[in-house]
Amino acid sequence: MSKNKYVIGVDFGTDSVRAMLMDTITGKILSSSVCLYERWHKGLYCDAGNSQFRQHPLDYIEGLTSAVKNCLQTVDPEVRQSIGALSMAMTGSTPVAVDEQGTALALLDTFEENPNAMFVLWKDHTAIHEAVEINAVGKKDHRGYLRYVGGIYSSEWYWAKLLHVLRVDPAVGEACYTWVEHSDWMPFLLTGGNDANQMKRNVCAAGHKALWSPAFGGLPDAAFFNAIDPILGPYAERFGDRVYTTTESAGYLCAAWAERLGLSTDVQVGIGSIDAHVGAVGGEIKPYYISKVIGTSTCDMMVVPKPEMEGVFVEGICGQVEDSIIPGMVGLEAGQSAFGDVFSWYKDLLLWPAKLNSSADFSAVYEHLETELLKELNRAAAQLPLHIDDPFALDWFNGRRTPDAAPTLKGLIGGLSLGTTAPAIFSALVEATCFGSRAIMERIESEGVRVEGINAIGGIASKSPFAMQMMADILNRPIHIAATEQVCALGACMFAAVVSNSYDTIEEAAARMGKGDKEIVQPRPEYRAHFDHRYAQYLRYGTVQNDRDNKALT
């Protein structure tokens, strides 16, 4: 049996971690396991009203341990002994403060209950004002340090979050040696790293979130960071002078983690990456196709041959970075700050009265409603006739990521009457999220990058035919639905296969291990005029709100 025949892919999502064990030769998934984050599900360290979302590193450590061990329980010992590599995908930008040894500060007794010493989750928007300052400096700087991230730096990203934490918590700032993405910290941890200066930074997070570019020789120069706030200077210096692709190895499992997981120290650990980038590969991304990773939020990924992007800068997206998704190509990232989160918010809103009844007899009813309500809303909304004056919405319930980051924008529901039903409002919310997708696609095309097709991957793509049909109609493109919704774990397996030398390139691994399409949803021509009219209305209301947002920030 080949030593590198099997690999493990791990997907650290917003709510849970999933491990997948795969045969690199046949592409067969042997087992998988999911573990919820215990502290996260208790709502600890978060304050949604202030857009604060933090995750404790112990959730990641315990979740990974349980998911991998459970995944291995159902396979033969021979399989376990033939695992060649483990690769991981993480949400991003989700950074944390670490000390000089690379220990996340929340793992130290002094900071174990301090949210500022924990991972600042991708959807945390506490750094809005810091992002405004970065943009103000960036727009004045003649060197164009923001041009590879769409011209606007987001509050969801690396430097804004660091600056905010340093300012609001001097104790954390004093103890923080460097600021590290989750996608860099976890491989460092598993390989037994004990020197933060040796941490290997991945090109995806560095390029899309931290302003790294080969055009600059790395990060922007010291003068740029000093103009924002001199406090950032030491952290830019400690970032390191090299980045790595996800096809490279971070090293081997250290003895402690090998014993903890029940694996060998011969198992290589791949360089980490942002989950959407890895998921796009798991969904078999190809040039000029938008791969939409649709979950709590969306990430819209594209790959374009490098010569085609020469001199092209797409305004208002989350970056265009060489080698960030597939080595040898330019990776483009855009997305929406809330997609499935909008539907979950609406479900929770409708269920609020049910939460008032705490009796044991009612608990089963509540659990049934919580499980079935979104399914029923999808079914009922799909049966509604379409009218020009139906309720409408703006999808910015967690701000707007792209096009043109604006985290303070708010969601909107309008056009209501006493006859408006719950399914009609749900339909408006689905429509608005699809309009947000159309705005992204049109921006990319308007900047000179053609879009030939759409791949939809993730939970909502698999579970909501209503949303996918509406998206096909609104984008006026066929939607290719991936055969598996666990594309991030699958993509991590593909990268692990390259790390373990089972395949030479990620394209080869994807071709051999991919699962193809479950179905292709075709747009309905008879609805094109209807949605064009409704989209124009969406843009009008969005323009008014965007103007108000800009005035508030200035």
Residue 272: closest CA among 181, 390, 149: 181
pLDDT at 1: 38
Judge if pTM exceeds 0.85: yes
Measure the CA–CA gap between 287 and 299, rounded to whole angstroms: 16
Using DSSP bridges, classify how beta strands 289-294 and 273-274 pair: parallel, antiparallel or unpaired.
Answer: unpaired
Q: In 3D, which of 25, 187, 189, 5 has the Cα closest to residue 81?
A: 5
Q: Which two tokens stand for residue 302?
A: 């594209």
The CB density around residue 310, as the number of other CB atoms within 10 Å, is: 8
Q: Could you give the CA distance from residue 471 to residue 205 in angstroms, rounded to a whole number?
A: 28
Cα gap 111→108, rounded to integer Å: 6
Whole-number Å distance between alpha carbons of 209 and 204: 8
Instruction: Determine the Cα angle at 5 with ends 4 and 10, to 5°.
Output: 85
Q: Would you call 443 helix, strand, or coil by DSSP?
A: helix
Longest dimension (CA), the chain: 68
**Would you state the torsion angle of the CA atoms of residues 280, 285, 291, 296, taken in this order, to the nearest 10 degrees?**
-20
DSSP 376-421: HHHHHHHTSPP-TTS-EEE--BTBB-SSS-BTT---EEE---TT--
User: In whole angstroms, what is the distance from residue 488 CA to residue 427 CA?
Assistant: 28
pLDDT at 73: 94
Whole-number pLDDT of residue 550: 63
Name the CATH superfamily for 287-451+524-553: ATPase, nucleotide binding domain (3.30.420.40)
Residue with token string 């339909």: 427
pLDDT digits (tens, 9 = 90+) for 79-127: 999 999 999 999 999 999 999 999 999 999 999 999 999 999 999 999 9
Task: Locate all alpha helices (DSSP H) within 141-262, ordered by sequence.
Answer: 158-168, 170-175, 182-190, 203-209, 222-228, 233-237, 255-261
Q: Is-contact 384 427, C-beta < 8 A? A: yes
Domain spans, the chain? 287-451+524-553
Tell me the three-class secondary structure of 123-170, residue by residue: CCCCCHHHHHHHHHHHHHCCCCCCHHHCCCCCCCCHHHHHHHHHHHCH
Helix ranges (H only) for 20-157 are 38-41, 57-73, 77-80, 128-140
Q: How far apart are the first and last CA of the chain?
A: 64
Q: In degrees to the nearest 10, what's the CA dihedral of 455, 457, 463, 465?
A: -10
In this structure, what token pair is assigned to residue 535? 């989209």
Weakly modelled stretches of the chain, pLDDT under 70: 1-4, 358, 360, 547-554
Percent helix, strand, coil in the chain, to 5, is 45, 20, 35
Cα separation, 310 vs 301, in Å, equals 18
